[in-house]
Structure 1
Amino acid sequence: MAMFCSQAGARPRTWEASPPEHKKWVEVFKACDEDNKGYLSREDFKVAVVMLFGYKPSKIEADSVMSSVDPNTSGIRLKEFLDIVRKKKEAQLYRNEVRHIFTAFDRHYRGYLTLEDFKKAFKQVAPKLSERIILEVFRFHIYVMDQ
């Protein structure tokens, strides 16, 4: 079973693929390495991402991945591929967690949070927290979103 642990406001710290999921990643690598080269080319990698995540990576994402691999190899080796997929999966889980928390705060399904939404949510989860701190947190999140 996959394990996912995080702390409020922090990126996931521990996430390991379950054995069946890890096996699936290896199978996708092998399926995309059609000529049994031992590595994935740029195009092979794009196909693998479509198979695992359901979207075609952008040129920027493909460039980023290809520039991060060992320049002495001709492409992405299995170990590098597994690390890339693990990081993508971890980021996906983190985004899902953030979306879940946002949805819990957005009680009126508006797609944005007001200060009142924030106050009500914090009153439930941290009733002794001062209004000044709640306001600072709200302002900080507005600042981060503006960046």
Structure 2
Amino acid sequence: MVAMFFSEAGARPWTWEASPSEHKKWVKVFKACDEDNKGFLSREDFKVAVLMLFGYKPSKIEADFAMSSVNPHASGILLEEFLSIVRKKKEVRLHWNEIRHIFTAFDRHYHGYLTLEDFKEAFKQVAPKLSERTVLDAFREVDQDSDGLVSFRDFEYAMNYGQNEAQLL
């Protein structure tokens, strides 16, 4: 059902590509954090690089995950692996921001949740040909606990679920 809702609403699989200048910035950060020009980032180097690019120090779990995702025979994260990790982090952050923006547009009364009326009004604006039944079905599916209110978490889950299904089609 969610996939149908998103396809009728015109949703598309979410993609993003780094600009050449952004790619150069990432390479520059890698080189700046690669102490002693060893050709890879150690765990601590990686933490500094993430801090420089994203403004936060990654948790031990995040650093462990990054280190475990690289070649087990390597001493650290190579440039291409680092670029892949950064691209994915950036893509996730941008996707989350896009979902937050859509949720905020639907939340026209700034309650922090969406009602069926919010859904109806939003879809009247962006997809006026959607049937009221489709909007109602979508709302019911997104309203995970059936309390008549859709939290951002419910909305985010539905958006990601719908995108994942749309990518399978």
Measured against the shorter chain, the TM-score band is 0.7 to 0.9
Q: Which residue of 2 aligns with 1:3?
A: none
How many residues in Structure 1 have an aligned counterpart in Structure 2?
140
Unaligned runs of 5+ in 2: 1-8, 145-152, 158-169
Unaligned runs of 5+ in 1: 1-6
TM-align CA RMSD: 2.0
1:67-103 superposed Cα distances (whole Å, 9 cap, x missing partner): 1111010110000000111111111111111111111
Q: Which residue of 2 aligns with 1:75?
A: 76
- Give the match's secondary structure for 2:23: helix
Q: What displacement does 1:10 show?
A: 4.5
CA distance in 1, matches of 2:89, 2:11: 19
Give the share of equivalent positions with the same residue, in percent.
73
CA distance in 1, matches of 2:13, 2:61: 23
More helix by share: 2
CA distance in 2, matches of 1:99, 1:10: 17
Q: Which residue of 2 aligns with 1:126?
A: 127
Following TM superposition, where does structure 1 have runs of at least 4 consecutive aligned residues deviating by more than 6 angstroms?
none
- Give the match's secondary structure for 1:35: helix
CA contact 1:11–1:94 (8 Å) conserved in 2: no
Matches within 5 A, 1:27-42: 27-42=28-43
CA distance in 2, matches of 1:82, 1:8: 31
- TM-score, normalisation: structure 1: 0.87
CA contact 1:40–1:77 (8 Å) conserved in 2: yes
Q: What displacement does 1:8 show?
A: 5.1
CA distance in 2, matches of 1:64, 1:106: 35
| Higher-RCO chain (CA-CA 8 Å, sequence separation at least 6) | 2
